[in-house]
Amino acid sequence: MTDKLDDEKYRAPALSKGLDILELLAGESRGKTQVEIAKTLGRTTSEIFRMLMVLRQRGYVELSEDGDRYAMTTKMFEIAHKHPPIRRLTAIAGEEMQRLADAINQSLHLAILHSGKVLVIAQVDCQDNNITSVRLGAQIPLFDTASGRVLAAWMEERALASLLEVAQGSEERRQDFVDGLAEVREKGYCGNASLTIEGVQNISAPIRDFSGKVIAALTIPFVKRLSGTSIKSADESREALLEVCRSISRQLGASVHSD
């Protein structure tokens, strides 16, 4: 009873409406109109209009070129990067990622889990003219990624169940994802053909924090170039990736012997 009264006492309706809008738009790549937002959230258009004006003034949402649809900006992503753990992770990983990209002539991206999806928080390219890269800030369905398998493989049972509950995808993809986690744990990495781009082999390895917990996945979308500029094989690239992940993990305080 006390908790319920406390909930009523500390309600902030305006803040709740603003957060509802942000959470809705976060899952919409094309954005939504004011009417669509109001209908989805069960609010009046006048309520939504006031919230949208404030969010737009603060730089959290923007209008499309035709002035009809609202979409999220990258401001939330930028704020997340100011959070010390993520900032430290990207600061430590950045130079190591670029050195590896140059050494194997492949692009790399660093990802974490966010709201049941894989969020790309850092990305580097090699010097080759032909590259395969993932957009910084991209949110990718969990079941479609090697990164997702690495991030989920060492989770405790309860945490994994919670992740699977919010992740989106077909039952077939979900089952295939779960079935593959044991192999990822056994090998210490994930290597499989891309589920989104033909001809790309994704190679992903875990990065651990001081407690040994997997907090990020570093991934090479490996491409074999017919031009002859693929200076390292997929196996050589994988071994180099694993060594870099161990190095980054050590700098974050993880034991060299974490497994």
pLDDT tens for residues 10-53? 677 888 888 899 889 887 778 899 999 999 999 999 889 989 99
The fraction of the chain above a pLDDT of 90, given in percent, is 57
Q: How far is CA 63 from CA 31, 52, 68, 76, in A?
A: 9, 10, 7, 16
Q: Are residues 93 and 48 in the same domain?
A: no
The torsion angle over the Cα atoms of residues 19, 23, 25 and 28, rounded to 10 degrees, is: 180
Yes or no: say if 101 and 124 are a contact pair by the CB < 8 Å rule. yes
Q: What is the CATH number of the domain that holds 202?
A: 3.30.450.40
* Residues whose CB falls within 8 Å of the CB of residue 77, separated by 6 or more in sequence, listed in order: 137
The answer as to whether 245 is a domain residue is: yes
pTM (2 decimals)?
0.69
CA distance 72 to 32: 10
| CA angle centred on 148, ends 115 and 222, rounded to 5° | 135
Residue 48 sits in which domain range?
2-73
Per the structure, the count of domains in the chain is 2
Phi-psi map region of 37: left, alpha, beta (phi>0 left; psi -120 to 50 alpha):
alpha
Hey, what amino acid is at 177?
A: F
CA distance 64 to 6: 40
Q: Are residues 10 and 107 in the same domain?
A: no
Q: Are residues 139 and 106 in the same domain?
A: yes
End-to-end Cα distance, the chain? 46
* Predicted pLDDT of residue 1: 41
